[in-house]
Structure 1
Amino acid sequence: MTATCRRCLVGRFCGEGDMPIRNEVHRWAQQTWKGAHNVQVYDMSGFLFLFEFQTRRMAEHVIMGEWKRQGLTLKLEWWSPTVGAFPDEKMFDWFWIRVLGLPLQLWNNKVMEKIGDECGGWLEIEEETEIKNHLRWARIRVRGPREKIPTKIEIADNGLIYSLPVWMESPVTYRLMEVEKRADRGDSDIYCLMVQKTDLCCWKTEIEC
């Protein structure tokens, strides 16, 4: 574990109410944790936030407290290698999708909610999409299931039909690493077989441990 990771906390807001976006969380953290100077906040998944502190002592002080923002309780834990990832066998009831090349005149919540409904049900829009940080794609969280998410969506506007590619993001999963001994390299040499899967491809990388 690197020195940076040892001074990082991961948190989520729990309770009834609107979930804050990264800028709101960053502003709240700076105002609330006055002793934790220059704390950095990163949006990990739309509902998980990574808090990077200048020192581990600052992080230790914060994690011992109880924190609330507008009625929502902030649950904090130390960063770990599997934070934000899920066991390989987990079944998901939400997915992030990216709608590529959405025309500017269609870049609004009403259209994106309709797109989400076509993919099993709209849940939320990513912060970068909402504030138009870029226009390469619109990122939307939908219910799914996977089978209901098309690879293309058509939208009619002013006599034109736009055919827009849809990319589905698979959540990160993990499982125990397979370890095998290679007879041709001697019993003392252990090599790890790592398998990485995406919707598009599957490949293996062999590394020496």
Structure 2
Amino acid sequence: MDDQEDSLFKRCVIGSCGEELKEKPTLADIRRWSSTNWKKAFGGNIYKLNGNAFLFEFPNKHMAEQTLQGQWRWKNCSFHLEWWNPLIGSIPNYLKCKETWIRVVGIPLHLWSQKVFQEIGEVCGGWIATVEETELKNHMKWARLLVASDGRKIPKEVSIERNRITYHFPIWVECKPSFEIAPESGYGTNGKETRLNPVQCFTYGIIQSASCNSVLESHQLRDSSRKQHVGCKRKTAGGERFNETCDLHMTHLNLKSDLGLLSKPNGTMP
């Protein structure tokens, strides 16, 4: 990772609505909303991600930290902000989703029916529901169906035969990417070698480069008991012992539970 990329990552923030919305915000909506509410954060870029998530690229880290301090709402729901990290939008590989949305591309008008949707859904693990915009024919670019599958064994194509004609429909699976974390060697707060994963190493990089005393506390870079930024007393790196502020902050971050255990627990996604 070069210095330019590293600088970009440390001024990027992910924002998302904390609740399911009937009316999802568009990119244009969020651009208008941010320009109205974030008067001191200007000149940045906004990108649409999956679901209700958006990527905010600020001109500098100071603007990003100032924005993270606020409590924001989109209409009647909370709008949550957090620092970008390499695992945003992904799930641990050991978790299995019970349901997945799929898009069936190119279904012709004479096959656009609930019976055909259910037939396709059964091939893909079991039909559960058809989204309202598909039932109403708001557009016919694809049919969007919810199926009983984690998305890993859904076929890339489904064939439907009618009147001696076989149609082959491509399937787009809307499942999140998964990840596995390989441990790396590093040094803990006691100065002894320990096992760190790449995300922890990345987070350490953000912590040690934090510009202290320039802003108030942010939820990712603060000592919860002293309300100070990490490293306010002194910077440490490598095998040197972290100061008391850093020790408290690492406990507050609880990286293992927040960013993925190195072991493989049992569990399923709801």
Q: TM-score per shorter chain, which class?
A: 0.5 to 0.7
Distance in 1 between residues matched to 2:26 and 2:98, nearest whole Å: 21
Task: Determine what percentage of the aligned residue pairs are the same residue.
Answer: 26
Q: Which residues of 2 match residues 21-170 of structure 1 at below 5 A?
A: 21-102=26-107, 115=117, 118=121, 119-122=127-130, 138=142, 140=144, 142-146=146-150, 151-152=157-158, 154=160, 163-170=168-175
Contact map agreement 2:150 2:175 (CA 8 A) in 1: no
Quote the offset at 1:36 in angstroms.
1.2
Distance in 2 between residues matched to 1:13 and 1:145, nearest whole Å: 25
Quote the offset at 1:177 in angstroms.
2.4
Distance in 1 between residues matched to 2:60 and 2:143, nearest whole Å: 34
Post-superposition Cα deviations, 1:123-165, rounded to whole Å, max 9, x if no partner, equal 687xxxx8x8xx9x64847353248956326598xxx985422
SS at 1:2's partner residue? helix
Return structure 1 stretches of 4+ with deviation > 4 angstroms.
114-117, 146-150, 153-156, 160-163
After superposition, the CA RMSD in angstroms is 3.7
Which has more strand, going by share of residues?
Answer: 1
Distance in 2 between residues matched to 1:78 and 1:140, nearest whole Å: 32
Report the residue type matching 1:167 in the other structure: W
Aligned residues: 163
Stretches of structure 1 that go unaligned for 5 or more consecutive residues are 180-209
Q: Which residue does 1:3 correspond to in 2? A: 7
* Larger gyration radius, structure 1 or structure 2: 2
TM-score normalized with structure 2 length: 0.48
Stretches of structure 2 that go unaligned for 5 or more consecutive residues are 122-126, 185-270
Q: Would the alpha carbon gap of residues 167 and 69 (structure 1) be closer, same or farther in structure 2, given more than 3 Å must change?
A: closer
Contact map agreement 1:22 1:43 (CA 8 A) in 2: yes
TM-score normalized with structure 1 length: 0.60
Contact map agreement 2:17 2:79 (CA 8 A) in 1: yes
